[in-house]
């Protein structure tokens, strides 16, 4: 672990419930909000952006939302503000009274480039990553929260915001996806309490939401998933590790885009005995990204492993970039996993 990452993790321990009220007041005090979410949008990033966008519109604010993603996953178009998303790679931040709001971003570099807090701009960071680096003027980051949507929900409750059905649907989306449909270890009593209240508010129908979120893959994505399944390699002591790979040609041949792999890495957890899985994906620009999942009983966590390669994320779900030719990626990854296993002197189970 690098010194920088250690420092970032220490900073996060400072969350206080008063931070929710500070975030709420900061938002209410500004009339123009620009929301940023991280690249490779997931349900929590899009759900939280859509929820906050709607809440802002209801308060008469001028709201915009962007990230470097060229395209959002189509399955989420039911979100109230899916259509308001803009692609922005490089953003010119100005000290003009706009409030810049980062959602679900552990660090500012997860979103657009050009951000620099020292330039006196007003910025707010609402997040739930354990390694959040507190990069904004106002920071509201609790590593114990299940999702950024949960952080927003708690902020709305603390600040007496109205949670309309459209907001409830968006919030439920991030809560559902980041807890793996209420199956991951971050499914706390509060997560269930939040779900219950969102249902009680009238906007959320759990069966409909489950269909919208989980039962909406397009056939081309399935062909890509099939390639990943067919290449999986299980290894290590007690066969607790698994790796697989997706080449860019897999997406071309299937007619799929890169947005359809959300949820894929978690699927490998249904192999009996698996504690740790890494899915290698080759992007059109040649970059090789790892999507990593771990569960209790793994000798090391997903986040810990990702940070060895300059990546980040949560203890159980994380990602990083691997700098090797794709042809060597599977072997190299297996080697790194076994090396880490032996180095840490740890045993599984």
Q: Rule CB under 5 A: which residues touch Mn ion? A: 44, 104, 147-148, 178
Shortest approach of Mn ion to residue 55 CB, angstroms?
Answer: 18
Q: What are the structure tokens assigned to 277, written together? A: 């899985």
With 0-12 CB in 10 A as exposed, 13-18 as middle and 19+ as buried, what is 285?
Answer: exposed
Q: Which is nearer to Mn ion, 122 or 139 (CB)?
A: 139
Other C-beta atoms closer than 10 Å to the C-beta of 94 total: 10
The answer to whether 76 and 173 are in contact (CB under 8 A) is yes
Q: Which is nearer to Mn ion, 104 or 304 (CB)?
A: 104
Other C-beta atoms closer than 10 Å to the C-beta of 340 total: 16
Q: Which is nearer to Mn ion, 104 or 262 (CB)?
A: 104
Give the CB-side neighbour count of residue 226, counting CA atoms within 13 A.
10
Residues forming beta bridges with residue 235, ordered by sequence position = 241
Q: Which is nearer to Mn ion, 126 or 256 (CB)?
A: 126
Q: What are the structure tokens assigned to 57, written together? A: 């519109």
Query: Minimal CB distance to Mn ion: which residue?
Result: 44
| Contacts for 238 with CB less than 8 Å, ≥ 6 apart | 273, 348, 349
Distance CA 50, CA 188 (A): 23
Helical (H) or strand (E) element with 242: strand 241-246
The answer to whether 123 and 144 are in contact (CB under 8 A) is no
Shortest approach of Mn ion to residue 126 CB, angstroms?
Answer: 11
Q: Which is nearer to Mn ion, 143 or 206 (CB)?
A: 143
Shortest approach of Mn ion to residue 329 CB, angstroms?
Answer: 26
Q: Which is nearer to Mn ion, 295 or 314 (CB)?
A: 314
Shortest approach of Mn ion to residue 106 CB, angstroms?
Answer: 9
Shortest approach of Mn ion to residue 148 CB, angstroms?
Answer: 5
Distance CA 221, CA 46 (A): 20
Helix crossing, 43-58 with 148-158: angle to 10°? 20
Shortest approach of Mn ion to residue 136 CB, angstroms?
Answer: 17
Q: Which of 232, 161, 171 is nearest to 199 (CA)?
A: 171
Q: Which is nearer to Mn ion, 30 or 128 (CB)?
A: 128
Shortest approach of Mn ion to residue 177 CB, angstroms?
Answer: 8
Backbone angles phi, psi at 280, to 5 degrees: -95, 130
Q: Which is nearer to Mn ion, 104 or 282 (CB)?
A: 104
Shortest approach of Mn ion to residue 65 CB, angstroms?
Answer: 16
């Amino acid at each position: 672990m690098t010194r920088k990452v250690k420092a970032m993790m220490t900073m996060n321990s400072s969350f206080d419930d008063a931070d929710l009220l500070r975030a709420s007041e900061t938002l209410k005090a500004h009339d123009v909000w620009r929301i940023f979410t991280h690249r490779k949008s997931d349900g929590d990033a899009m759900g939280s952006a859509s929820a906050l966008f709607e809440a802002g519109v209801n308060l008469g604010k001028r709201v915009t939302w962007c990230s470097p993603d060229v395209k959002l996953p189509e399955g989420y178009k039911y979100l109230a503000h899916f259509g308001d998303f803009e692609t922005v790679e490089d953003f010119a931040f100005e000290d003009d009274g706009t409030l810049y709001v980062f959602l679900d971003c552990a660090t500012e570099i997860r979103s657009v480039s050009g951000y620099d807090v020292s330039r006196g701009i007003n910025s707010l960071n609402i997040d739930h990553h354990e390694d959040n680096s507190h990069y904004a003027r106002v920071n509201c980051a609790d590593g114990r929260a299940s999702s950024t949507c949960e952080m927003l929900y708690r902020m709305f409750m603390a600040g007496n915001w109205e949670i309309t059905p459209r907001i409830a649907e968006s919030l439920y989306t991030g809560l559902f996806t980041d807890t793996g449909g209420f199956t991951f270890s971050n499914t706390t009593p509060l997560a269930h309490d939040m779900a219950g209240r969102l249902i009680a508010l009238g906007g959320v129908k759990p069966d409909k939401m489950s269909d919208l979120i989980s039962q909406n893959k397009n056939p081309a994505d399935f062909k890509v998933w099939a390639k990943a399944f067919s290449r999986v390699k299980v290894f290590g002591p007690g066969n607790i590790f698994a790796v697989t790979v997706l080449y860019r040609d897999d997406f071309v041949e299937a007619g799929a885009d890169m947005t359809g792999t959300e949820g894929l890495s978690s699927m490998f957890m249904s192999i009996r005995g698996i504690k740790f899985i890494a899915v290698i994906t080759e992007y059109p620009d040649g970059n090789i990204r790892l999507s990593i999942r771990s569960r209790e009983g793994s000798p090391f966590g997903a986040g810990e492993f990702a940070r060895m390669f300059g990546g980040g994320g949560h203890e159980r779900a994380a990602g990083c970039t691997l700098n090797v030719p794709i042809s060597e990626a599977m072997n190299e990854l297996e080697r790194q996993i076994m090396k880490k296993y032996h180095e840490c002197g740890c045993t599984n189970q």
